[in-house]
Amino acid sequence: MRPELESVADEIVAEIRSSIPEYRRPLDGPYGKSITAGVRHAVSLFVSQIADPGASKQHAHEVHRRLGQYEMREGRSLDTLQAAYRVGARVAWRRIMEVGRRRGFTSGVMSQLADAMLGFMDELASVALDGFLEAKASSADALDTWRRRLLQLVLERPAAPPEAIDELAQLVGWTRPKTATPVAVRPLRPLPSGHRPPLDDDVLAELSGAEPRVLVPGTMSQARVAALERALPRCRLAVGPCVPLEAVPDSLRWARKALSLVDDGVLPPRRVVPVHDCLPVLLLHSDDALVAQLRRRLLATLDGLTPRQRERMLDTLRAWLDAQGNVLDMAERLTVHPQTVRYRMRQLENTFGDRLRDPDARFELELALRTLSPHDKPTLPKPRTRS
């Protein structure tokens, strides 16, 4: 078969050019030389593998990977590329049958050659396809799409296979970190359509969906926070705790909850909300129905009081718990006379009774107090004005 290599390579190139219009270009430039080299490497390697199945494929694979990349950059489709490999397989097989008849190959040998030819062409087509996709992923729009898909894989529940994450990370040139910090983003004003903020190359982002988010490898430094603030000037950012990559979905969930607590007035409306500073608050508000039940049990104890009395009672209870019953400390917190504190404490004891002396009940009372938002405070009547 070796004497046939040069002529069959030329025949394959000619057949591809005549049957596929996209390839009818002069072959004297870099493009033509790449096509010709690819075909010659392919037929030469095929024969070499028949003689020695352990022959190295590395060089031929690299040539065909570059061919795939070139096809994408030239604007041709995958269909055109695959058609070229089918033409090459057809011409090569036609020549093998001619050689087989002349040399008297048995039907068994011809069958083995057919299987080897089809498998070999499929392999090279797959290598070229990889090159095509690599080149496609490196274009700006495609790279953004693949990076968003990578972030989606990291956040999937149940978790995506690590191999899938690694494969896509390699495709977009993202080094998979051991730990990462998610950031929940809340636009304070609508983001411009197609907005691409100037984020660092190692930062993954999805800003166009209903729940915008960013993923920063490793811990979040002050420099990173400042860079995010500059890149997203119209947004509130809730920075989740730095966690192992597989725990990022939980950290992002906490960050989103922090944003909703800012909306509810539970957390202060800061531009950047560090979630690790408010984990107890997040825990208290992790079950809205349970929080509501705690509040109802607390406020039910104060039924029958006027709004002003109820607010005073809650303030006194909070001061009593914070000051651990110290009268002078309570007086300072409430800005009242110690004798007034003693009077209010008697009211507390009459209202809550043994619950103030039971550690579990005190713990529940403090939990309930800490779940109260400004919206839950009773509205005091406005003082009357003299006409």
Predicted confidence (pLDDT) per residue in 74-105, tens digit = 767 778 888 888 898 899 889 889 988 998 99
> What are the tokens at 221?
């430094």
3-class DSSP state of 9: helix
Query: What is the sign of the dihedral through the CA atoms of 200, 206, 208 and 211?
Result: negative
Which is more confidently placed, 60 or 259? 259
pLDDT for the residue numbered 382: 39
> What are the tokens at 124?
């090279």
Taking only the tens place, the pLDDT of each residue in 214-236 is 999 999 999 999 999 999 988 99
> What are the tokens at 260?
């909703």
**Of the candidate ranges 53-67, 72-86, 277-291, 326-340, the one whose mean pLDDT is the lowest:** 72-86
pLDDT confidence band for 182 (50 / 70 / 90) = very high
How many C-beta neighbours within 10 Å does residue 268 have? 9
Percentage of the chain exceeding pLDDT 70? 91
pLDDT for the residue numbered 180: 97
CATH number, domain 2-138: 1.10.490
Taking only the tens place, the pLDDT of each residue in 284-316 is 888 888 888 888 888 888 888 888 888 888 888
Residues 31 and 23: their CA atoms lie apart, in Å, by: 10
CATH number, domain 290-376: 1.10.10.2840
Average pLDDT over the chain, rounded to an integer: 85
Give bridge partners of residue 236 from the DSSP assignment.
186
Residue carrying structure tokens 């607590």: 261
Q: Is the pLDDT of residue 378 over 50?
A: no
Cβ-in-10-Å burial (0-12, 13-18, 19+) of 84 comes to buried
Mean pLDDT score, 193-215 = 85
Q: Is 248 left (phi over 0), alpha (psi -120 to 50) or beta?
A: alpha
pLDDT for the residue numbered 383: 37
pLDDT for the residue numbered 359: 87
Residues 351 and 233: their CA atoms lie apart, in Å, by: 50
Taking only the tens place, the pLDDT of each residue in 112-170 is 888 888 888 888 888 988 888 777 766 666 778 888 889 999 999 888 888 889 888 88
Residues 136 and 260: their CA atoms lie apart, in Å, by: 39
pLDDT for the residue numbered 28: 63
Q: Is the pLDDT of residue 384 over 60?
A: no
pLDDT for the residue numbered 26: 66
Q: Is the pLDDT of residue 25 over 80?
A: no
Nearest to 381 by CA among 306, 316, 299: 306
pLDDT for the residue numbered 386: 39
Give exposure, 343-359, as e/b (b: 16+ Cβ within 10 Å). ebbeebeebbeeebeee
Q: Count how many Cα atoms sit within 13 Å of the Cα of residue 132 in the half-sphere of its side chain.
A: 18
pLDDT for the residue numbered 186: 93
pLDDT for the residue numbered 140: 62
DSSP strand pairing (204-206 vs 235-239) = unpaired
